[in-house]
Amino acid sequence: MGQAPIQIGWIPYWNLLPLKHELKRLSGGQIKLTSGHPSVVSRWLADGVVNVAPASSIALLKSRNLEMALPIGIASEGPVQSVYLGLHREHETFWEFTRERQVILAERLREARRLCGDDMRQSAAALWESSRAERAAVAVPPLKLTTASAASAALTRVLLNLWLGENLASLVLAKSAMTQDEILNKDLGSRTMELVIGDEALQRRHEFWKVLDLGQIWLELTGLPFVFGLWQTSSQVLPPSIRYLVAEAASIAQARMRVEPCCYFPETIPLTGDGKDVDLAAYWKVIQYKLTERHLRSLLLYFSLYQRTCGRVEDELITERFVRWSKIWTGADSIATR
């Protein structure tokens, strides 16, 4: 009797289509993909329904049952196109405010990193303390968050705190739990600022006057790529054959989707809401599966900032986990403690 296939949680978005193709081609029946939204896959992973999955990066911080499987994920350095805050024309003042605020925050972070060196936790603390007590003098559009991606929602929470200050950000986030009808009834604005992710984001881009692409926003702020997803496991031991399979598939897919993306095109090219082809070739050029030390630094900064939005700081716990993860990355001493 053959060995049971490894259960892999899968997010059926176009950003993972090339990787799915290579996994199936190389696996020889060793794997079984079970599909769901990012938040659902993270829950399956924590509950042991699947063995391994490219789950939301923030799930590693929220669940101590999960562990990084290997340095493979879903990242972008610059505009990711499929994760953004969609704005309408009446939000122009807020758009201009975020543009100005990004410049100020990026300079503060550069100064913090100059003083703190490679200690990303201390840099995060300095940036947070310099921003938390401020209160922006700007009208903030009502916000509609998606529940489909915990990583994108968490990054939005971080950015709002840095842009607006802790008190105003808390008010905006509290109101984001309202329904659209409740927003209209309270006369908070005719249209919301929306966090849109995944395939829906690629299809709906034309609906918005401007978008705040979260991959681009993070790069402007930090100079680093953002890691939206990471391969994670709830098991302490992942078979070497599966580790090799995922790493090999990621390496091949990342290379091929840049030079011959047509080999991954679906039979029917997806359309945007206004009837145009989704440019999958351009989209895949910005997606990164293979992660480096720069991605790990970015994660440490992101996790440290996110913890502060939740009112808790557990830097020692984060450091201990990053020691292990750094060894997965490089086999060297942790960059978190240099």
pLDDT tens figures, 244-266: 999 999 999 999 999 999 999 99
pLDDT value at residue 330: 63
pLDDT value at residue 336: 40
Same domain, 128 and 179: yes
Same domain, 250 and 216: no
Per the prediction, the chain carries an average pLDDT of 88
Same domain, 115 and 28: no
User: In this model, does residue 296 exceed pLDDT 70?
Assistant: yes
pLDDT value at residue 183: 47
Q: What is the pLDDT of residues 198-229, one digit of tens each?
A: 999 999 999 999 999 999 999 999 999 999 99
Mean pLDDT of 75-89: 97
CATH classification at residue 35: 3.40.190.10
CB-count exposure of residue 52 (10 Å: 0-12, 13-18, 19+): buried
Q: What angle do CA 223, 193, 125 make, to 5 degrees?
A: 35
Domain presence at residue 133:
yes
Q: Please state the domain count of the chain.
A: 2
Specify the DSSP class assigned to residue 176: T
In order of 107, 147, 205, 280, the CA distances from 257 in angstroms are: 35, 29, 22, 9
Residues above pLDDT 70, as percent of the chain: 90
In order of 145, 183, 264, the CA distances from 319 in angstroms are: 30, 41, 39
Same domain, 39 and 145: no
- What does the alpha-carbon distance between residue 20 and residue 12 come to, in Å, rounded to a whole number? 9
Same domain, 53 and 157: no
Q: Last residue of some domain: 222, 251, 277? A: 222
CB contact at 8 A, 230 and 57: yes
pLDDT value at residue 191: 87
pLDDT value at residue 1: 39
Neighbours of 173 (CB within 10 A): 18
Mean pLDDT of 34-40: 89
Distance from first CA to last CA of the chain, Å, rounded? 50
Residue 157 lies in domain: 83-222
Same domain, 99 and 127: yes
Q: What is the pLDDT of residues 114-153, one digit of tens each?
A: 999 888 999 999 999 999 888 888 999 999 998 778 889 9
User: In this model, does residue 50 exceed pLDDT 60?
Assistant: yes
Same domain, 101 and 214: yes
Model pTM score: 0.90
In order of 141, 159, 199, 268, the CA distances from 294 in angstroms are: 33, 20, 27, 36
Same domain, 194 and 231: no
pLDDT value at residue 240: 85
User: In this model, does residue 334 exceed pLDDT 50?
Assistant: no
